[in-house]
Structure 1
């Protein structure tokens, strides 16, 4: 970690407030979270919001992440199928947690935990360069709590590093509530019918090639529709565009 790292305790309140005030949309939130991720020695991040009363297999919504849409979709499908309760219990309890999969579990431990086999999700995360991770609860007024997740290959951070990272993440999560509300208030006619169709099929896990075949378009045209809808929604990639469209109830 460099001396200029954002999570350094040397940064004063004024500098912190000024940096937070520059988080006015998803792109600024993404950039700041990516900077925090790198400063902390991780590779990827994800911000989740708990879904109250949702299916226990998937009680969260990904609202911002550095992972691709296909990786998120694959993880969610594997997670729902594996019966792994770690993330579910953490989201409900709102407690920080850390995991380390660099050393395979002994056979005796696997046998004892056979009903909660998460080797498939571990395999996916390993391919993404995520073998250790940190989960930090985040909160904001009058909204469901969430989690900021960081994944990579670094060992567990000390309590001071985790506390500073948590401080920043809670600030970003609170700022996100402000631009989310402003985006909800925007006219819904900004997206064309084709853009909505492409986002809807993307949310269903279809690739650009598959969407092109379904809608009778070229792959290039589908990518253009997705890129333009992402720009209109103020997001940085198709994963965030889908999440934003769902949040705005533009698609199911």
Structure 2
């Protein structure tokens, strides 16, 4: 994942929350999410996401998100505009290995005549995504991903951009590792498993729970599977009933 030809990336640099011990203990997407929160805060950003590129069958952001701290309502409103697959973010990140910077219009279509462009820019501006910095990263299988940090702060200088890139690479490597290792089973229900059960009991679908919790639908399904096993249930509904009976949710 690291670029040995880029001298601005300093392998020896790492903020406190990205110590070898911290990274080595990561086992779930939720733990990656927490590290990304700290990373974003460290560099002065309020929002972040990691997403796959849109495709013909899944053009909306919610269908491609892996981890994010975007509010669920923001994701819903953004998806309703149907602009993700046409956004400058997607088109510009796909065309360069360099960091991509932009204001609220980065998440909107480039065509100023596009009716949804102004609405998308206004929406992201209202939610504090006034300035963004995006990186293109690839998995070990060569699949491209977008890592985006957004907020209201001034643009990072060259050195801090390089440091954030290196941090993003480390965090993405941790995230990719969770694809293979999955969630480690615990003797008791984890906090995330309880949250998934609680939202399911409230009538939310797996996709909706994924948006609410800022994780992927695959991870939501994984939490349901482990929770069902731990509760000795045979399906999701029985697991919810058992958790309610035990006053866990």
What band does the TM-score fall into relative to the shorter chain? 0.5 to 0.7
Residue number in structure 2 paired with 1:144: 143
Q: TM-score, normalised by structure 1?
A: 0.62
Matched, 1:36 2:35: no
Q: Superposed, which structure 2 residues align to 1:25-174 within 5 Å? A: 25-51=28-54, 54=57, 61-78=64-81, 80-81=82-83, 84-93=86-95, 95=97, 96-101=99-104, 113-115=112-114, 117-174=116-173
C-alpha distance in 2 between matches for 1:143 and 1:184: 23
C-alpha distance in 2 between matches for 1:141 and 1:200: 37
Q: Any idea what SS the aligned residue of 1:46 has?
A: strand
Q: 1:138 to 1:85 in 2, by over 3 A?
A: same
Displacement, 1:200? 8.7
Q: TM-score, normalised by structure 2?
A: 0.63
Answer yes or no: is the 8 Å Cα contact 1:84–1:116 preserved in 2.
no
The gaps in structure 1 that reach 5 residues or longer are 1-6, 103-109, 206-225, 231-235
CA RMSD for the aligned pairs? 4.2
Residue number in structure 1 paired with 2:231: none
Matched, 1:244 2:246: no
**1:126-160 deviation per Cα after TM superposition (whole angstroms, max 9, x unaligned):** 22112111111222201522111111111221222
Displacement, 1:75? 1.4
Between the two proteins, the alignment pairs up a number of residues equal to 204
C-alpha distance in 2 between matches for 1:27 and 1:59: 17
C-alpha distance in 1 between matches for 2:180 and 2:35: 20
The gaps in structure 2 that reach 5 residues or longer are 1-8, 226-249
C-alpha distance in 1 between matches for 2:50 and 2:56: 19
Displacement, 1:244? 2.4
Matched, 1:20 2:7: no
